[in-house]
């Protein structure tokens, strides 16, 4: 599978496509089954957020290597040009969700990955980058 792979998120189907691409790369770096499932689930949550709240965007999936530990991992960056997140701290609060029962807020998703980085600007968009390392 090619890395980095760019997957546009413009419909519900694309959530499934993001999952498949992430799973492919996670399997390629021989991530444990549990970790694969975690990162694919996180990607699924974030892809849906990008579509539903961000009004669509892109997911960039790539293989990365940690220079300090030599471990490999999968990094996924979601970008959209939607309304942004007005209160980031609130969005990361346990159990918080802005939509009508969609998503578990971002806190649950954050627990599924090793690195979680969120940049958002009200009115211009959101960029969320997550990384899962092999154990």
Partner 1 sequence: MERVPILKIGDTLLVSIQIDLQDQTVLALQEDLAERIVQTQARGVIIDITAVEIVDSFIGRMFATIASMSRLLDAETVVVGMRPAVAITLVELGLSLGGVRTALDLERGMKLLDSGADLR
Residues at the site binding partner 1, with contacts judged by CB under 8 A = 12-13, 15-16, 19-20, 23, 33-34, 36-38, 40-41, 44-45, 48, 94-95, 101-104, 107-109, 111-112
Nearer to partner 1, 7 or 112 (CB): 112
Nearer to partner 1, 45 or 80 (CB): 45
How far apart are CB 124 and partner 1 at their closest, in Å? 26
How far apart are CB 67 and partner 1 at their closest, in Å? 27
- d(CA 81, CA 92) in angstroms, rounded, equals 20
Nearer to partner 1, 26 or 77 (CB): 26
Task: Give the largest CA-CA distance in the chain.
Answer: 42
- d(CA 32, CA 87) in angstroms, rounded, equals 35
How far apart are CB 107 and partner 1 at their closest, in Å? 7
For residue 71, what are its two tokens?
Answer: 């471990």
- Judging by beta carbons within 10 Å of its beta carbon (0-12, 13-18, 19+), is residue 44 exposed, middle or buried? middle
Decide: 30 and 134 in contact? Cβ < 8 Å.
yes
Nearer to partner 1, 10 or 12 (CB): 12
């Amino acid at each position: 599978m090619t890395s980095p792979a760019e997957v546009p998120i413009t419909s519900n189907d694309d959530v499934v496509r993001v999952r498949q691409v992430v799973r492919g790369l996670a399997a390629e770096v021989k991530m444990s089954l549990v970790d694969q499932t975690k990162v694919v689930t996180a990607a699924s949550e974030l892809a849906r957020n990008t579509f539903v709240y961000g009004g669509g965007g892109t997911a960039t999936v790539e293989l990365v290597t940690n220079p300090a530990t030599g471990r490999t991992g999968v990094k996924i960056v979601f970008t959209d040009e939607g309304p942004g997140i007005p209160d980031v701290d609130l969005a990361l609060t346990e159990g918080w969700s802005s939509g009508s029962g969609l998503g578990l807020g971002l806190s649950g998703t954050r627990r599924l990955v090793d690195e979680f980085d969120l940049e958002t600007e009200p009115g211009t968009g959101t960029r969320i980058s997550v990384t899962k390392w092999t154990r």
